[in-house]
Structure 1
Amino acid sequence: MTAYEKPALAIAEIEEVLRAQMGAGVREITPMSGGNLSSVFSFVHEGKGYVIKFSDMAGAYETDRYISNLLTSQGIPFPRFLGQGKVGHLGYVIIEQIDGGNLADCSTEQQILQLPELIRILTRLNHVELGATIGYGWIKPTGDGTYNTWKDYLVDVFTEDQTGNFWENWYDLFQTTCLEKEVFDECYSRLMTYSVYNEPHRHFIHGDVHQWNILSDGKRITGIIDGNCAYGDFLVDLAILDRHMAGLEVVEAYQAYQEQAGILIPDFNERLLGAYYFKGMDGLRFYAKMGWNDAYQSTRDFLLNLSK
């Protein structure tokens, strides 16, 4: 199985899409870095900055309108939705551009200084009002979750039989990449043990909250973008952030803020372990598929050394 390659587009193709959506006057179409699964471009229209993203994934951007409206209506610094459509086999979405660069481009010292604000924003995001929606896991365009329970979601995420999505035939990775079946099975067993602690909790999860999806002007957090959004235990987001900002004492800073804000988190350690295994296992197969062997090895070692 070869590493995934995101779609390639000529600027002329993008201009045609934007002319149909926005009318005349689109300028400065520029490729953007980031986006492992999407091809991303910024552009200017009537003096304002926007972003267009293209994907060949089935169902790409179906929930973007709902999620953008949910978060922006409750004061979360998340891009506003402008439009979406299809061009050939590609889906696309147009959103506003939030000022700032990737937090990843900030120095370690700058990241440490902005960590308290980032934790405050993440806490607000994880506690947005979900209204009358039901269900866990992936968020559907209606706003409901796809699964009846958190366990149903976990089981389906890692089932062998995936069709029509990024993980179709993913068991082939055990034969064709560095992905190790015995390691994966061991982590899955531990995931099922700890997931019972995550099971009762239903909140909004960003699902991909790391320095490349966090925007900053160098002094303050200006926005959070993208996401593999779902309903479930918000400690999933903490696990992701901690793994991507290793060494910055993210968990300690998070707990200190929750205590200060009067937010009680029962079974914290067990839930965080469940979150580490869930996102870590997803990382293992993703890194294997992308050919990122160093990231695979460090995640593998981290997971196997948990719970000791």
Structure 2
Amino acid sequence: MTAYEKPTLETSEVEVVLSKYFGSNVTVVTPLEGGNLSAVFSFSVFDKEYVIKFSDLAGSFETERFISSLLTSQGIPFPSCLGLGKYKSCNYLISEKISGLHLASCSPEQQRKLIPEVIQLLTRMNHIEVGNTHGYGFINSSGNGTDNSWREHVIAINAEDQAGTFWDGWYSLFKTSCLEQDVFDECYNRLLAYSSYNEPHRYFIHGDFHQFNILSDGRRITGIIDTNGKYGDFLVDLATLDWHLRKLDVIQEYQSYQQQVGISIPNFKERIIGAKYYNGLIGLRFYAKMGWNDAYFGLRQELLRLTN
């Protein structure tokens, strides 16, 4: 399997694109780290900061524009999308830049103090109105889910045939990496069993809700970025947050807040287990593909222990 390589652009090329939008008022064009699938640059116009992303994957930004509109129109602090276009073989998207640093860069004490606000924001985001959209799983460029049910989505993302995606040819990992087929199959069967509890629930899922996609100034949460948007059970996002911030009693804090605001979550225990298997199978494959063996074996142990 060959890893996807994001496009490379010179700063001068980025300036050409931006001059069409902003004339000669663009300053401080700077490449940014991060972004597995896009080349990302920040820039300023009259002291206001923005971001431009470039990708050569077809339709890469239409979904992001839809999600940006869906979230910002309902008061969720997410980057507003200002423009979409094409440059050479790349699509690009221009959006506002939210101030703040990753929550990960805050001290452990700051992170602990910010968790209640993180949970309030997560709850608000998961309960936005999704209008007359339909479907489950990944959100496509028209704003709908790509599958007819959550179970269909679970089966589709774990199928062998993933042509044209990041997971193209992933079955080869059973031979070339630490990924063990018997462990994968065991966890997959458990996922199918528990996902029946997740299946009736359809909400907006961020899909990558952790401390590197949550921004803060150290005192408050300033916004969230970089969704892998889906429709399904919102506990998928809680399972992600708990996995990444495991020392902060995230699940206990979350349940206390839901009780406080009067949100009832039937079958919580079974649904959070289903969400952990859903995320966990993606994690096992990802760690194996990246060669992160220690992370793989740590997650493997946690998943096999989950229902014992």
Q: Could you say which TM-score interval applies, normalised by the shorter chain?
A: over 0.9
Q: Which residue of 1 aligns with 2:184?
A: 184
Amino acid at match of 2:19: R
The 5-angstrom pairing of residues 135-154 of structure 1 reads 135-154=135-154
Establish whether residue 103 from structure 1 lines up as the match of residue 103 from structure 2.
Answer: yes
Q: Which residue of 2 aligns with 1:7?
A: 7
Query: What do the CA deviations read for 1:230-268 (whole angstroms, capped 9, x no partner)?
Result: 100000000000001111100000000000010000000
Establish whether residue 193 from structure 1 lines up as the match of residue 193 from structure 2.
Answer: yes
State which drifts further: 135-144 or 195-204: 135-144
State which drifts further: 179-188 or 57-66: 57-66
Q: How far 1:210 moved relative to its partner?
A: 0.6
Q: Which residue of 2 aligns with 1:302?
A: 302
Q: Which residue of 2 aligns with 1:50?
A: 50
Q: Which residue of 1 aligns with 2:234?
A: 234
Q: Percent identity?
A: 60
Contact between 2:59 and 2:141, CA under 8 Å: does it hold in 1? no
Distance 1:141 1:3, change over 3 A: closer
Alpha carbon RMSD of aligned pairs, Å? 1.4
Say which SS state the counterpart of residue 247 (structure 1) adopts: helix
Contact between 1:2 and 1:289, CA under 8 Å: does it hold in 2? no
Distance 1:176 1:15, change over 3 A: farther
Query: What do the CA deviations read for 1:64-123 (whole angstroms, capped 9, x no partner)?
Result: 111111100100011100112233333321110001000010011110000000000000
For 2:96 and 2:134, the matched residues in 1 are separated by 29
Say which SS state the counterpart of residue 162 (structure 2) adopts: coil
For normalisation by structure 2, the TM-score amounts to 0.96
Q: How far 1:136 moved relative to its partner?
A: 0.7
State which drifts further: 232-241 or 149-158: 149-158
Runs ≥4 residues deviating over 4 A: none
Distance 1:92 1:176, change over 3 A: farther
Say which SS state the counterpart of residue 28 (structure 2) adopts: strand
For 1:163 and 1:121, the matched residues in 2 are separated by 36
Establish whether residue 158 from structure 1 lines up as the match of residue 161 from structure 2.
Answer: no
Q: How far 1:212 moved relative to its partner?
A: 0.6
Contact between 1:3 and 1:291, CA under 8 Å: does it hold in 2? no
Say which SS state the counterpart of residue 35 (structure 2) adopts: coil
Distance 1:180 1:37, change over 3 A: farther
State which drifts further: 222-231 or 160-169: 160-169
Contiguous gaps of at least 5 residues in structure 2:
none
The 5-angstrom pairing of residues 10-159 of structure 1 reads 10-159=10-159
